[in-house]
Structure 1
């Protein structure tokens, strides 16, 4: 599991615990997710490439380092991934945004794509895929396979919670993609929910249940 990165910063763990509480309101859950996404973004972007530019300080000219946010693409797996976007964009406001829409076929239980929209020039871009829950891993695996068809420069997968089953699925299909998460929970239940988890992230973000 060398490409699994658990972000265990005390602030991350504190906010995650508050989100897990069943009595957390929609407003509170959404706000905490945005704050967590911002905190996690610092770790996920730690190795982003830098370039030198010349600037003038109030005292003299110097060479400073900057990241090229326009080369970064944040890809949301709809719909819950959208809850991650704003917090990440607070850190890298110049990033482009892509979307992948998937649903699970009730007969085959396999993910079916219904929407795919990416920026141009993906072969020159670094991609961070965001989805709060890595449960079975089937949707994430399908999303990464679809993304790889655009031949991006690199891909990372970021989730709030991961189940061992989802990690195993994703690593088997995409061993080259590092996974960033704030916690690895115990297991999935018979309905594919993460235990102890925090419930359905999409419903809790958007107040639809």
Structure 2
């Protein structure tokens, strides 16, 4: 992928995102909508996967048919909210290898603090998609991709539901080689580092913890 930022403006994505933004959307509906959007975003983020062919037998004849090349894709969730996007993508690509990076944001400094890191083997041979619903300050995303690169991965994409201009700029500065795929580029960050207009805290809304 050559573009640093891709905003997926498909009508279904935008309609479901609007429902998720609404403050009175229930936890159950929020989770369902996030899973549905993740399937649509996964279609976009995997658009340029490398292909090869293999010989198969159809009911009528033998043919050389297209298949995905190389090792299974790696899907890396930034805990905890990343799991909401990951679950939907795994429905589409169930053979993907899965990794987890645990980061939380220090509410005073807005800097990420690592508490967990478990990634698949042979990352250097895999397309790696890092997922987190919100690209806000960009600090957590940059830290997570730092870890993914240290594991050997070189073909990396970042998938999020919402992005702020500040987060996109931070990512472009730190990781210009990592394309960002999102459903919306929102207006700005507020003083607390939340995306505006946004949809609140994705993890809290997904798990009903607030």
TM-score range for the pair, normalised by the shorter chain length: over 0.9
What are the within-5 Å matches in structure 2 for residues 115-194 of structure 1?
A: 115-194=116-195
Rate the CA distance shift 1:66–1:12 in 2: closer, same or farther, 3 A. same
Match of 1:89 in 2: 90
Alpha-carbon distance in structure 1 between the residues aligned to 2:107 and 2:203: 19
Aligned residues: 209
| RMSD between aligned residues | 1.5
Alpha-carbon distance in structure 1 between the residues aligned to 2:205 and 2:50: 35
Match of 1:22 in 2: 23
Q: CA deviation at 1:108?
A: 4.2
Q: CA deviation at 1:2?
A: 4.0
C-alpha distance after superposition, 1:13-33 (max 9, x if no partner): 010001100010000000000
Q: CA deviation at 1:155?
A: 0.3
Contact 1:3–1:179 (8 Å) recurs in 2: yes
C-alpha distance after superposition, 1:82-131 (max 9, x if no partner): 00012111221111110000122356442121111011111111100000
Stretches of 4+ moved more than 4 A in 1? none
- Please give the secondary structure, in 2, of the residue aligned with 1:32: helix
Alpha-carbon distance in structure 1 between the residues aligned to 2:70 and 2:92: 10
Rate the CA distance shift 1:68–1:85 in 2: closer, same or farther, 3 A. farther
Moved more, 21-30 or 89-98: 89-98
For structure 2, the residue ranges without an aligned partner over 5 or more in a row are none
C-alpha distance after superposition, 1:5-54 (max 9, x if no partner): 00000110010001100010000000000000000111110000112111
* TM-score, normalisation: structure 1: 0.96
Q: CA deviation at 1:77?
A: 0.2
Contact 1:160–1:181 (8 Å) recurs in 2: yes
Alpha-carbon distance in structure 2 between the residues aligned to 1:178 and 1:25: 32
Q: CA deviation at 1:69?
A: 8.0
Moved more, 1-10 or 29-38: 1-10
* TM-score, normalisation: structure 2: 0.95
Match of 2:35 in 1: 34
